[in-house]
Amino acid sequence: MAFDADKVRIARRGLLAGGGALGLTGALAACGAGEDGDDASGDAPEGPWSFADDAGETVELDAVPTKIVAFTGMAAALYDFGIEVAGVFGPTTNEDGSPTSQAGDLPVDDLTVIGNAYGEFDIEAYAGIGPEVLMTHYYVDPAALWYVPEESADQVKELAPVVLLSADDAERTNTLDDIIVRHSELAASLGADLESETNAANKERYDAAVEALKTAAADNPVTVLACSAAAEIFYASSADANNDLRFFQELGVQFIAPDALDEATGSYYENLSWENADKYAADVLFLDSRVQALQPDALTEFPTWNALPAVEAGQVVGWEAEPMYSYGLAAASIEALAEAIASAKKVA
């Protein structure tokens, strides 16, 4: 299967993953919160609002917040459940102004973008929104607010309380499925109707995608390498260290385990020079599709990339290395992986 980064954005571009169960469930692709006919937004709860986050803090406000600023990926998940935010920070728009994959279906033209890349966070723009709450993720350490520069963290906390959801708990045991549940609970506290027609359809599609991946992994036990590409380094990722890959392993996907993980950066991956990019022979490459990573059309100049068995066989599929934490958005990525595994041949 040839790589297509938009395979992980099927719901947003109307591309169905394939026949059978995937094709049928694809017809249930959901609309975002801002689309005509959407019914995912319930009536906002009245009275005081509180939410117990994953860092052990309970944020309490006099009313349900409407001036929410959130990390782009979290904002996209909330939007898919039916909740809009006022501002975002994180990879939101490409150079041409189009939404990044992490922005999901967010109406990016209508949002205040506090920062569009790692290390960017405009405190003045943030304060100008009059934020009632900031929402983001953390990885293992709740003191590290995802995509909030460390030097800005104290100012950010002074302007509004912070709600944190764990993308990796301290033991690295939570999975994509667990984290989506937590995002749904946050959305419900803000007024999302999780039983709406849209949200019910999203959940049905997600459940079908999970079953399709489980079936594909059992019927065609090929090996998969989760990886990311940069100009100088080919990263071989650890399935144990990534919440989505942990979940996919539980479903039976056979990920290659790199044997020299970089402990200095959290043991998420092994750094390989391009000369050694062929260290692990895989049948399928699950390639980081984020905007900051090199994509296949930019990798053709690397001889070792071209020589990888999975590349020669066209068995490369896009990986949302920062997963989407709503049922509608996550389903597309799972469908794409299920299709890639189901159709793959043993080449390694």
Could you give the domains of the chain? 5-29+198-343 (3.40.50.1980), 49-194 (3.40.50.1980)
List, in sequence order, every beta strand (DSSP E) within 91-238: 112-115, 133-139, 162-168, 223-229, 233-237
Q: With the CA atoms of 7, 13, 17 and 18 taken in that order, what torsion angle do they form, in degrees rounded to the nearest 10?
A: -140
Q: 218 vs 214, 221, 251, 253, 257, CA distance in Å? A: 6, 6, 9, 8, 19
Per-residue CA distances from 61 to 78, 153, 291, 347 (Å): 19, 21, 36, 56
Whole-number average pLDDT of the chain? 89
Query: By the 8 A CB rule, do 113 and 139 touch?
Result: no
Q: What's the pLDDT tens digit per position in 3-32?
A: 444 443 332 222 222 222 222 223 223 334
Q: Kindly indicate the confidence band of residue 130, based on its pLDDT and cuts at 50, 70 and 90.
A: very high
- Quote helix, strand, coil % in the chain, to nearest 5: 40, 20, 45
Token pair for 120: 């960017």
Q: Is 326 exposed, middle or buried (0-12, 13-18, 19+ CB in 10 A)?
A: buried
Closest Cα partner for 89 from 114, 112, 65, 68? 114
Q: What tokens does 234 get?
A: 């080919």
Total residues belonging to the chain = 348
Q: What angle do CA 138, 144, 145 make, to 5 degrees?
A: 65
Kindly indicate the confidence band of residue 47, based on its pLDDT and cuts at 50, 70 and 90.
confident
- Give residue 22's pLDDT: 27
DSSP states along 23-57: HHHHTTPPP-TTSTT---B-PPPPS-EEEE-TTS-
- The CA distance from 247 to 184, in Å, is 18
The tens digit of pLDDT for each residue in 152-167 reads 999 999 999 999 999 9
State residue 18's pLDDT score: 28
